[in-house]
Amino acid sequence: MGIQNLLWQVTKKAFTGGIIGVTISDRCCSVVPVRGDSMSPTLNPQRNSYLDDYVLVEKFCLQDYKFVRGDVVVFSSPTHFKDKYIKRIVGLPGEWISSSRDVIRVPEGHCWVEGDNKASSLDSRTFGPIPLGLIRGRVTSVVWPPQRVSKIS
């Protein structure tokens, strides 16, 4: 009976801990790996995936924050909603962006994102401005590997 009680206590604690972890990950911050080199050299300056950067993504920005030019954000792809990309905001609503041939105005409620490594980045130059509602969080710092720990400006 003592062991049953112990197991039940442990299960309860584990369950509560899991739920709290999920809530923190959804609403406060989480750590995600960066895949690909579209944000080189800011993120993943080498091409070796064993050394992929892990970054801290904060979610408080989804409540009250006004996004600014230069923020690195995680967002759902407008063409494949289950994929998530990490890119930098280079255009805010109302601004004009010069694309390859014409000048585009960023519509209200949208933003223009581009990767730092323009040669190898699938971004707004391909799929156009993205609604701010697709943004899932803001990258604040690199947390792994240890020698690359730094805040992202």
Interface ranges with another protein (CB under 8 A): 16, 19-20, 22-23, 26-27, 75-81, 107-110, 130-135
Q: Which amino acid is at 149?
A: V
Measured from the CB of residue 78, what is the shortest distance to another protein in angstroms?
Answer: 4
The catalytic position among 12, 13, 30, 38 is 38
Query: Which among 30, 59, 87, 124 is annotated as catalytic?
Result: 87
Report the nearest approach of another protein to the CB of residue 51 (Å): 29
Look at residues 117, 113, 152, 143 and name the one whose alpha carbon lies nearest to residue 45.
117
**Catalytic annotation present for 84:** no
Q: Which two tokens stand for residue 13?
A: 């604690």
Biggest CA–CA distance in the chain, Å, is 76
Q: Which amino acid is at 130?
A: I
Q: Which tokens is 110 given?
A: 């949208």
CA neighbor of 38 nearest in space, from 116, 136, 152: 116
Q: How far is the CB of 81 from another protein (least distance, A)?
A: 4
For tokens 């601004």, name the residue: 95
Q: Determine whether 38 is an active site residue.
A: yes
The nearer residue to another protein, 108 or 146, going by C-beta atoms, is: 108
Measured distance between the N- and C-terminal CA atoms of the chain, rounded to whole angstroms: 56
Compute the least distance from the CB of residue 88 to another protein, in Å.
Answer: 18
Measured from the CB atom, the residue of 48 and 126 that comes closer to another protein is 126
Give whichever of 76 and 117 is closer to another protein, judged by the CB atom: 76
**Active site residue ranges:** 38, 87
